[in-house]
Amino acid sequence: MTDEKPRALLVLGVAGAVVVGILTATQSRINSELSLSIGDGYLAAVISFGSGFVIMLVALAVWRPGRRGLAALVTSVRTGQTPWWYLIGGAAGGLFVLSQGLTGAVLGVALFTIAIVCGQTLSGLLVDGHGIGPVPPKPITMTRVVGSVLALLAVGWAVSAQLAGDIPPWLLILPFVAGLFISGQQAVNGQVRRISGSAMTATLLNFLVGTLVLVIAALVHESIAGWPTHLPANPLLYLGGLTGTVFIALSTIVVRTTGVLLLGLGSVAGQLVTSLVLDLTLPVDGRVVAWTTIAGTLLTLVAVAIAAVPSRAVTASSRTPTA
């Protein structure tokens, strides 16, 4: 019975990670379309992240546990119990949204997601293997290593056709780098939730920092390139922020059960399937989904399933958990 409960929690955690991936891919399409409509990826990122911040401020005003959590977090940082850099995880979220606006419309959701996945998988192994701050490392099992390697091979296979075409390889660099930082963001957001006792507090902080970073970047860009002359009228293009608040809050809850690597791989499954569905049903103009992208996606799902299977650890925690 004791083994069944952790296993059931892990299954629920992986299911939650898949939902995170579905919402992430949906946000990627929304933000890339918003960027295309405005003609400015920087401003599109500010609109998306900024709207999420406004939503979280409204929620904080009516949700007392969130305000208590924020006060507890401030006290913990002020007394030195919590590292100050736990508070800047939102900068990684800002980079992710910016990469959506700058490259998503050109790459298509599927190829953009695959680039994110590659960076996310590598960093997930590193974060789980070494831990972050007072968070002890999680044992890296053989199945997680095999699943991660297989996922990376699947990524290479999936992008091979597009890289052979007219897409400049450098366009993949920004989403890859954003993916590298996602695992660290998920880890520190999970710790902020633990310290504050509130997923809302962690999500609010994420949007606050990300919005500040993006506003600075946008002001610099607009001062050089000039402001757009119009904003799109389609209200659906402004739902990126709302979508982000949901999946960031969910990931802060799920990560303590799954660990960063399994959260990343589970969300990969949701991202890739949703990305393929979006690119097949609502294709980006001039982009055709190659059969290798479909095959690579299916192979990535197999990799995620392998990684979720319990097995003997190949690395053990060498640090003692601290309060």
Of 199, 250, 201, the residue nearest 75 (C-alpha): 201
pLDDT in tens, 133-160: 555 666 677 887 887 788 778 767 766 6
Question: What's the confidence (pLDDT) of residue 319?
Answer: 45
> What is this structure's pTM?
0.73
Asked whether the predicted pLDDT for residue 262 surpasses 90, the reply is no
Question: What's the confidence (pLDDT) of residue 101?
Answer: 75
| CA atoms of 105 and 41, how far apart (whole Å) | 10
Contact partners, residue 283, CB within 8 Å, separation at least 6: 108, 289
Minimum mean pLDDT range among 17-31, 200-214, 234-248, 309-323: 309-323
Q: What percent of the chain has pLDDT over 70?
A: 83
Alpha-helix residue ranges (DSSP H) falling in the chain: 4-38, 41-62, 64-78, 90-107, 109-130, 142-163, 173-196, 199-225, 240-281, 291-307
* Identity of the residue numbered 222: E
**Domain layout of the chain by residue ranges:** 17-307
Question: What's the confidence (pLDDT) of residue 81?
Answer: 87
Mean pLDDT of all residues belonging to the chain? 80
| CA atoms of 211 and 286, how far apart (whole Å) | 32
Question: What's the confidence (pLDDT) of residue 277?
Answer: 83
Question: What's the confidence (pLDDT) of residue 311?
Answer: 67
| CA atoms of 90 and 96, how far apart (whole Å) | 10
Asked whether the predicted pLDDT for residue 206 surpasses 80, the reply is yes
In contact, 117 and 125? CB cutoff 8 Å: no
Of 249, 253, 113, 255, the residue nearest 184 (C-alpha): 255
Question: What's the confidence (pLDDT) of residue 57?
Answer: 92
pLDDT in tens, 45-89: 899 989 999 999 999 888 888 899 999 999 999 998 888 888 888
Of 41, 152, 26, 170, the residue nearest 98 (C-alpha): 41
| CA atoms of 86 and 184, how far apart (whole Å) | 10
> Which residues, in sequence order, are bridge partners of residue 135?
132
Q: Which of 31-40, 120-129, 288-297 has the highest mean pLDDT?
A: 31-40
pLDDT in tens, 279-310: 788 776 656 677 777 887 788 778 777 876 76
Question: What's the confidence (pLDDT) of residue 286?
Answer: 57
Q: Which of 228-232, 240-244, 269-273 has the highest mean pLDDT?
A: 240-244
